[in-house]
């Protein structure tokens, strides 16, 4: 199998289009994406740059603005399987604090109209460029494979809405896009660049977020007996919620994380407010545990409200939901064998699973097809080796210091996508 890394500098050939005669190298393209991140749901310039680059390859039929700023591109290349490769494209409201010369200085208004710094702190820019490079490689070498290649550039992953939005907007029904036999995706992570890791099982956990509103009775701070204090109610609930993991989860067989990330109540020290609003995030790695934890949350918040004599039960409103990411067993076995050949000792299939979450699997489960998801390293190998040796901290995804090295990260992400696609064609 000829790998992308052998012709990494290859530019798409378009002799008849002078206006397209100069394309960026993938590394320059990466810097462009990194310097110009956009928040979930606002990825218009990112999507335009992706589409512009895809147009270099005339073989692709490109469909834009699916479920927001989503793009699907199709290369029909004879009979055979249909393979979908997916990259997410959104960034985060974080002020970049890396020293990179191409660090983001960008700001954007969020959905509440507040100006936020924006950073590709989850490394989705590496996903975009790896997929563009893989697309270029697979297009240029299409005489060596047969089937249909579908590329999906998915917006709004960070808020868990983009994959569902693309499906709801007719990704598989409106554009004549062939239904994939398998859906493939990847994520960059804070480990040694050049490495690829996977597991044949649960890669990522499920995540559920809730807004819980406790109702009390407001009043003067000097007359607590005339009030029902929602702050005390919510505070008791926070402590009791922590007992779900410590007292209800089987330490050998189950895993769960329960985090109260926000409590909002009251405006002044001498007024007891009438409401407290709590934001809660729950991570689990199997459906049974998920149901159990969610039931416990509902039981506890209701019981704490009862214990306080609340005049009405709390409301529990789900604000986001990420499904489990569980790799398809049979196809993953095939991919593990292929990755072993491509990456040798830089590959392992012992990924322990992560409590992070993704909406990627929706692109497959929506059509009842298998999917595989893996991770590739983004940390400069020398920096990684030094950190391991000397116990130094390495900044990970979602931090202001997350700084994937350009290579071998892009080469690895590209090789992994090409290897996976060619395994299943
Ligand atoms: Zn993220
Ligand atoms: Zn991410």
Residues 330 and 317 in one domain: no
Asked whether the predicted pLDDT for residue 6 surpasses 80, the reply is: no
C-alpha of residue 238 to centroid of ligand 2, in Å: 28
- Find, among 7, 31, 11, 33, the residue nearest to 21 by Cα: 11
What integer best gives the mean pLDDT of the chain?
A: 94
Region 16-45: mean pLDDT is 80
Q: Which pLDDT band holds residue 23 (cuts at 50, 70, 90)? A: low
Rounded Cα distance between 74 and 182, Å, is 15
Residues 314 and 345 in one domain: no
- Find, among 81, 82, 29, 83, the residue nearest to 56 by Cα: 29
C-alpha of residue 274 to centroid of ligand 1, in Å: 35
Rounded Cα distance between 314 and 274, Å, is 12
C-alpha of residue 398 to centroid of ligand 1, in Å: 6
Residues 200 and 211 in one domain: no
Asked whether the predicted pLDDT for residue 15 surpasses 70, the reply is: no
Residues 313 and 350 in one domain: no
C-alpha of residue 356 to centroid of ligand 1, in Å: 8
Residues 193 and 290 in one domain: no
C-alpha of residue 218 to centroid of ligand 1, in Å: 39
C-alpha of residue 309 to centroid of ligand 2, in Å: 43
Among 322, 355, 386, give the residue marking a domain's end.
322
Asked whether the predicted pLDDT for residue 7 surpasses 90, the reply is: no
Residue 187 labelled as part of a binding site: yes
DSSP H or E run through 154 = strand 147-154
DSSP H or E run through 129 = helix 124-140
C-alpha of residue 159 to centroid of ligand 2, in Å: 10
C-alpha of residue 159 to centroid of ligand 1, in Å: 9
- Find, among 200, 199, 163, the residue nearest to 66 by Cα: 163
C-alpha of residue 209 to centroid of ligand 2, in Å: 17
What pLDDT, in 10s, does the model give residues 96-121?
Answer: 999 999 999 999 999 889 999 999 99
Asked whether the predicted pLDDT for residue 146 surpasses 60, the reply is: yes
- The CATH number assigned to the domain holding 126 equals 3.40.630.10
What pLDDT, in 10s, does the model give residues 382-405?
Answer: 999 999 999 999 999 999 999 999
Residue 286 DSSP SS3: coil
C-alpha of residue 91 to centroid of ligand 2, in Å: 8
What pLDDT, in 10s, does the model give residues 68-97?
Answer: 999 999 999 999 999 999 999 999 999 999
Asked whether the predicted pLDDT for residue 131 surpasses 60, the reply is: yes
Task: Domain of residue 151: give its range.
Answer: 4-204+324-424
Instruction: Tell me what pLDDT residue 24 has.
Output: 66
C-alpha of residue 122 to centroid of ligand 2, in Å: 5
Nearby residues of 72 by Cβ (< 8 Å), 6 or more positions away: 62, 63, 66, 150, 151, 152, 153, 166, 171, 175, 177
- The CATH number assigned to the domain holding 296 equals 3.30.70.360
Residue 414 DSSP SS3: helix
Rounded Cα distance between 402 and 248, Å, is 35
Asked whether the predicted pLDDT for residue 251 surpasses 50, the reply is: yes
Identify which has the larger pLDDT, 170 or 354.
170
Enumerate residues with CB within 5 Å of ligand 1 (an ion). 122
C-alpha distances in Å from residue 24, one per residue of 12, 31, 83, 225: 10, 10, 27, 70
Residues 233 and 199 in one domain: no
Asked whether the predicted pLDDT for residue 192 surpasses 60, the reply is: yes
What pLDDT, in 10s, does the model give residues 319-369?
Answer: 999 999 999 999 999 999 999 999 999 999 999 989 899 999 999 999 999
Among 270, 301, 322, give the residue marking a domain's end.
322
Residues 159 and 100 in one domain: yes
Ligand lying closest to the C-alpha of residue 123:
2
Q: What is the CA radius of gyration of the chain?
A: 24
Residues 351 and 296 in one domain: no
Residues 109 and 14 in one domain: yes
Place of tokens 């992953």: 157
Cβ proximity of 198 and 375 under 8 Å: yes
Instruction: Tell me what pLDDT residue 111 has.
Output: 87
Total domains in the fold of the chain: 2
Residue 124 labelled as part of a binding site: yes
Residue 122 DSSP SS3: coil
Q: Which pLDDT band holds residue 22 (cuts at 50, 70, 90)? A: very low
* Beta strands 182-192; 219-220: pairing state: unpaired
4-13, 28-37, 234-243, range with the lowest pLDDT: 4-13
Residues 140 and 268 in one domain: no
Among 304, 322, 340, give the residue marking a domain's end.
322
Asked whether the predicted pLDDT for residue 12 surpasses 90, the reply is: no
Ligand lying closest to the C-alpha of residue 189:
2
The tally of CA atoms less than 13 A away on the side-chain side of residue 140 is 21
Region 145-154: mean pLDDT is 98
C-alpha of residue 122 to centroid of ligand 1, in Å: 5
Could you tell me if residue 86 is left (phi over 0), alpha (psi between -120 and 50 degrees) or otherwise beta?
beta
Region 247-272: mean pLDDT is 96
**Percent of the chain at pLDDT above 90?**
91
The CB density around residue 123, as the number of other CB atoms within 10 Å, is 25
DSSP H or E run through 282 = strand 275-284
C-alpha of residue 215 to centroid of ligand 2, in Å: 36
What pLDDT, in 10s, does the model give residues 309-320?
Answer: 999 999 999 999
DSSP H or E run through 331 = helix 329-343
C-alpha of residue 120 to centroid of ligand 1, in Å: 9
Ligand lying closest to the C-alpha of residue 325:
2
C-alpha of residue 397 to centroid of ligand 1, in Å: 7
Residues 254 and 196 in one domain: no
Residues 239 and 160 in one domain: no
Instruction: Tell me what pLDDT residue 1 has.
Output: 39
Asked whether the predicted pLDDT for residue 203 surpasses 90, the reply is: yes
């Amino acid at each position: 199998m000829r790998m992308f890394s052998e012709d990494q500098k290859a530019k798409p050939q378009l002799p008849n289009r002078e206006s397209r005669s100069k394309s960026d190298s993938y590394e320059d393209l990466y810097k462009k994406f990194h310097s110009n991140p956009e928040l979930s749901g606002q990825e218009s310039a990112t999507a335009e740059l992706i589409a512009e680059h895809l147009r270099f390859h005339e073989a692709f039929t490109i469909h834009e603005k699916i479920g927001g700023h989503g793009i699907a591109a199709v290369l029909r290349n004879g009979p055979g399987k249909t393979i979908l490769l997916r990259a997410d494209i959104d960034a985060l409201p974080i002020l970049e604090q890396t020293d990179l010369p191409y660090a983001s200085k960008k700001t954007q208004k969020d959905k509440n109209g507040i100006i936020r710094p924006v950073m590709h702190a989850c490394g989705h820019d590496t996903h975009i460029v790896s997929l563009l490079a893989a697309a270029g490689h697979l297009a240029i070498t299409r005489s060596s494979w047969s089937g249909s290649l579908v590329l999906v550039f998915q917006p709004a992953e960070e808020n868990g809405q983009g994959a569902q939005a693309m499906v709801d907007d007719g990704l598989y029904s409106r554009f004549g896009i062939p239904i994939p036999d398998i859906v493939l995706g990847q994520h960059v992570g804070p480990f040694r660049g050049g490495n690829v890791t996977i597991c044949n099982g649960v890669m990522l956990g499920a995540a559920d977020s809730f807004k819980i509103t406790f109702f009390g009775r407001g009043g003067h701070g000097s007359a607590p007996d005339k009030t029902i204090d929602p702050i005390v109610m919510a505070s008791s609930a926070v402590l009791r919620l922590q007992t779900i993991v410590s007292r209800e989860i089987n330490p050998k067989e189950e895993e769960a994380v329960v985090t109260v990330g926000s409590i909002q109540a009251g405006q002044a020290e001498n007024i007891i407010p009438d409401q407290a609003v709590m934001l809660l995030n729950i991570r689990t790695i199997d459906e049974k545990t998920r149901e159990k934890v969610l039931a416990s949350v509902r039981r506890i918040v209701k019981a704490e409200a009862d214990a306080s004599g609340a005049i009405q039960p709390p409301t529990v409103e789900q604000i986001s939901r990420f499904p489990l990411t569980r790799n398809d067993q049979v196809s993953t076995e095939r991919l593990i064998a292929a990755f072993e050949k491509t990456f040798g000792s830089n590959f392992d299939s012992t990924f322990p699973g992560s409590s992070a979450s993704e909406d990627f699997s929706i692109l497959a489960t929506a059509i009842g097809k298998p999917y595989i998801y893996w991770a590739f390293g983004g940390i400069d190998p020398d920096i990684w080796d030094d950190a391991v040796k000397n116990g130094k901290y390495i900044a990970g995804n979602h931090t202001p210091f997350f700084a994937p090295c350009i290579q071998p990260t892009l080469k690895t992400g590209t090789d992994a996508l090409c290897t996976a696609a060619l395994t299943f064609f």
